[in-house]
Amino acid sequence: MSAAERVAELPPEALELRTQVREFLAGYAGEWSDFDRAHSWTGFDREFSRALGKRGWIGMTWRPPYGAGRSAFERFVLQEELLAAGAPVGAHWVADRQSGPLILKVGTSEQQQRYLPGIASGDLSFCIGMSEPNAGSDLAAIEARADRDTGGWRLNGTKLWTTNGQHCQVMIGLFRTTGPAREMRNAGLTQFLIELDSPGAEVRPIADLTGESHFNEISFTDVFVPDSRLLGREGDGWAQVTSELALERSGSERFLSAFPLVAAASRELALLPSGSVEQADLATLGTLVAETAVLRALSLTVAGKLERDEDPSYLAVITKDLGAELEQRTAPAVRSLFDRPPAGLQRAIDYALRAAPTYSLRGGAREILRGITARALGVR
């Protein structure tokens, strides 16, 4: 295992884009409270996504006609600026990150024409149909089935922990098309594009620790999907899901989810009379910033690998594991900087504290990630 790889350098066009993104975000400066910003990429705002879409900032790396074929570094800068500002990107985040790229990679041209323009304009939202009541980290245990029917398939089963599912029009769902789970494990799985207004699909929001409902349970009772909605190849579901997960784990949302709190804290500390911020508090702030800076460097290395079509998963998994740890430390650390934080910031801290347990669960639990790293080290 090599010690490290060179941190990629952002090209001029990416830096130019950053100026444009900052100008664009400045227009929202007064609109989002610290509490709004603490929602990070789970915040759902259709109009905001449409505004991004108008600028060509969704699916920007996709080849024409669906995207502008821009570089992974440009997307990297766009994403990190949105996350640092705590912009409500939830309406397009999943589709831009993994659903769109998957459709582009394995979808039919009819599927690409049907879905990609809507994603790119910010009108179409996708959710992820992987986990189930009895299949969380052990994804190969899924039981939801797709059985052949005239001209298509009948879906039965339940998908769980579907972020923003109540607001999404389409799910890419993983279903068992051959044999029972116990025998087949990760074989015989197939992905489908399921439009959630289909008869028999039922979406139930789940209230969580934050008092809000991000997760959903989506049940399927004899839901019909035509053959044309099978995504990729029958039986290739596991390989397709694995490539999706690599994208899901490699982005800067894996360490920036709590960053808006740090930005708010540094803004508030700067309002104190000059020189009155205690050294220990500067050290706390400096440590949060430094750790974020290092994860950003790692993430940039991952982006460089994606741009060169190399497998980034080893560094991506490490970035996500360390990132979740940092995100979970952030709310208590920011809280420690104030005897009594300003009311807006206090609300944001309270929210982030209650959202924090999911940071090391979503996109692969901490234990799963460490198992992947251990395998790469040759001990598993």
Partner 1 sequence: MSVSDLLLEQVVRLHAGGQNQRRDETGQIDVTLWGKVAELGLPLAMSPEASGGFALNWSELFDVLAHSAACGEPTPLGETLVANALLCAAGLAPVEGPVFFRIPVEGPDDRAMPTLPDAARVLVAQGSSLNLVAPAEAGDKAIASTMPADQAVLQSGALLRAIQIAGALQGALDLSVRYAQERSQFGRTLSKFQAIQHMLAQLANEAEATAAAARMACAKMDAGDGALAIAVAKLRAGRAVEKGAMLAHQIHGAIGVTLEYPLARLSRNMWRWSDEFGGQRHWAVNIGRASLGATGAWDAVIAPSDPVGATDRG
3-state DSSP helix/strand/coil percent for the chain, to nearest 5? Answer: 50, 15, 35
Using rule CB under 8 A, residue 26 touches partner 1: no
Contacting partner 1 within 108-167 (CB under 8 A) = none
Strands 126-129 and 152-160: unpaired
Backbone angles phi, psi at 107, to 5 degrees: -75, 160
- Answer for which of 315, 316, 333, 352 binds partner 1 (CB under 8 A) is 315
How many angstroms separate the CA atoms of 271 and 71, rounded? Answer: 39
Q: Which stretch binds partner 1 (CB under 8 A): 112-120, 146-154, 157-165, 279-287?
A: 279-287
- Answer for which of 247, 277, 361, 365 binds partner 1 (CB under 8 A) is 277
Using rule CB under 8 A, residue 269 touches partner 1: yes
CA–CA distance from 101 to each of 67, 105, 119, 232 (Å)? 11, 6, 11, 12
- Answer for which of 133, 179, 286, 357 binds partner 1 (CB under 8 A) is 286
CB 369 within 8 A of CB 321: yes
Give min distance, CB of 295 to partner 1, in A.
8
Q: Can you tell me which residue has the tokens 């929001």?
A: 205
- Answer for which of 58, 285, 306, 349 binds partner 1 (CB under 8 A) is 285
Contacting partner 1 within 75-114 (CB under 8 A) = 80, 84
Give min distance, CB of 253 to partner 1, in A.
14
Using rule CB under 8 A, residue 234 touches partner 1: no
Backbone CA torsion sign across 83, 87, 91, 96:
negative
| Number of shown-chain residues binding partner 1 (CB under 8 A) | 58
Each residue of 50-70: b (16+ CB within 10 Å) or e?
Answer: eebbeeebbbbbbeeebbeeb
Task: Give which of 147, 325, 288 is closest to 223, Cα–Cα.
Answer: 147
Give min distance, CB of 144 to partner 1, in A.
29
The vertex-379 CA angle with 374 and 380, nearest 5°, equals 75
* 286, two tokens: 């400096």
Question: Which string of x and - marks every residue 322-361 that binds partner 1 (by CB under 8 A)?
Answer: x---------------------------------------
Using rule CB under 8 A, residue 284 touches partner 1: yes
- Answer for which of 13, 15, 56, 179 binds partner 1 (CB under 8 A) is 15
Would residue 248 show up in a list of annotated catalytic residues for this protein?
yes
- The DSSP line for 310-347 is ---HHHHHHHHHHHHHHHHHHHHHHHTT-SS--HHHHH
- Answer for which of 75, 214, 296, 362 binds partner 1 (CB under 8 A) is 296
> Catalytic residue among 80, 132, 244, 248, which?
248
- Answer for which of 187, 209, 343, 374 binds partner 1 (CB under 8 A) is 374
How many angstroms separate the CA atoms of 371 and 363, rounded? Answer: 14
Catalytically annotated residues:
248
Residues that bind partner 1 (CB under 8 A): 1, 3-7, 9-10, 15, 19, 22, 80, 84, 259, 262-263, 265-267, 269-270, 277, 279, 281-298, 300-301, 315, 318, 321-322, 367, 369-371, 373-374, 376-380
